Amino acid sequence: MSYTGPDFDPHEPRRPRRVPLAVALAALVAGGLLGWLLYEVTGDSGAVGRPDAAGAVSGTAPGSASRPPSSSTAPSATASPSASHGAGGGDGKPGGVSGGSGGTGPLAGRVVLVDPGHNQGNFRHTGEIGRPVDIGTNRKECDTTGTSTDAGYTEARFTLDLAHRLRALLEAQGATVRMTRDGDSPAWGPCVDERARIGNDAHADAAISLHADGAAAGDRGFHVILPGTVHAGGADTRGIVGPSRELGERVAGSFVRVTGDAPSNYLGGGTGLVTRTDLGGLNLSTVPKVFIECGNMRDSKDAAQLTSGAWRQKAAQGISEGIVSFLRGS
């Protein structure tokens, strides 16, 4: 939702003043010198973005992408030049959005792919996202618009905010984080096959795709989707099924512990784990990867949590701890 600023009364018309030219020039020079001195003393510090209760971020530090604050300062992210559809992106193919280069910490040298599901721009590019792509077992649409709460809070907005929070936590542990999209880049998508390819090309040690479900009211809870065994067309998940299950189990366990939420009451038989072979983002991955459906946007109780910035921070913490545990083997 966009907010309109307050209305302001129109300015009173200025009355002309007669100031001698010499006095005006002297004031101009003095003001310029004062401004220069202030700049030299203070520098260009910029504004730090802070999330509101709904997770919207206002203000950005120079040269960084908007992201919510964390307990630790994380490197800023920059988008690669090819990461925008139809906006000077060369051949028009989406590229990965780079995260911080990682630092010191237990995950130094490890790469994590964070994939915020869907894209706000998909609503304006239905033709592009409806284009079929090969997912190994068959062909499916490039992407979808995703779901939303009854009040209109979209899944794409939710997943991007959660991704920013997760990225900050992982970078604080020293990981290098790659994202499939960030902010308005790319303008739509990427397609599901490209989302998998970004993680593969990054040689990610772990990859996670963030989502929220659109099930019937009364269906509650989260579930983690694991890749099933697929060996067809361009898909071969045989090498990642085992490690992906371990990743999923650790993420599910830490998600319950940190958020206090129960696993899905409508999928997974109470385990919070579901195996699927019809998702291109999993079928085409060559690195350990899972999806997480963090709750049901169509249930009022789940929706109240998904739209809470405080809850999203806990969700990011739970996911982060699962990934850290998987990568450290502890």
List the chain domain ranges.
Answer: 71-328
Own/partner pairs, 265-268, CB within 8 angstroms, 24+ separation:
265/219, 265/220, 265/221, 266/215, 266/216, 266/219, 266/220, 266/221, 267/223, 268/223
Q: CA angle, corner 57, sides to 173 and 6, nearest 5?
A: 165
pLDDT of residue 100: 62
Instruction: Note the residue count of the chain.
Output: 330
Per-residue model confidence as pLDDT tens for the chain (330 residues): 322 222 223 333 334 444 343 433 344 334 443 343 333 333 333 322 333 333 333 332 322 333 333 333 333 333 332 333 333 333 333 456 666 666 789 999 999 999 999 999 999 999 999 999 999 999 999 999 999 999 999 999 999 999 999 999 999 999 999 999 998 899 999 999 999 999 999 999 999 999 999 999 999 999 999 999 999 999 999 999 999 999 999 999 999 999 999 999 999 999 999 999 999 999 999 999 999 999 999 999 999 999 999 999 999 999 999 999 999 997
pLDDT of residue 102: 64
For residues 25 and 51, give the distance between their C-alpha atoms in angstroms, rounded to a whole number.
44
pTM of the model: 0.73
> Which residues does the annotation mark as catalytic?
293
For residues 218 and 216, give the distance between their C-alpha atoms in angstroms, rounded to a whole number.
6
- Lookup: tokens for 19: 């100031």
For residues 153 and 329, give the distance between their C-alpha atoms in angstroms, rounded to a whole number.
36
Q: Report the DSSP beta bridge partners of residue 34.
A: none
Task: Please give the C-alpha separations between residue 99 and each of 55, 112, 151, 271, 273, in angstroms, as whole numbers.
Answer: 20, 10, 32, 32, 28
Strands 223-227 and 176-179: unpaired
Superfamily of domain 71-328: Zn-dependent exopeptidases (3.40.630.40)
Angular region, 70: left φ>0, alpha ψ -120 to 50, beta rest: beta
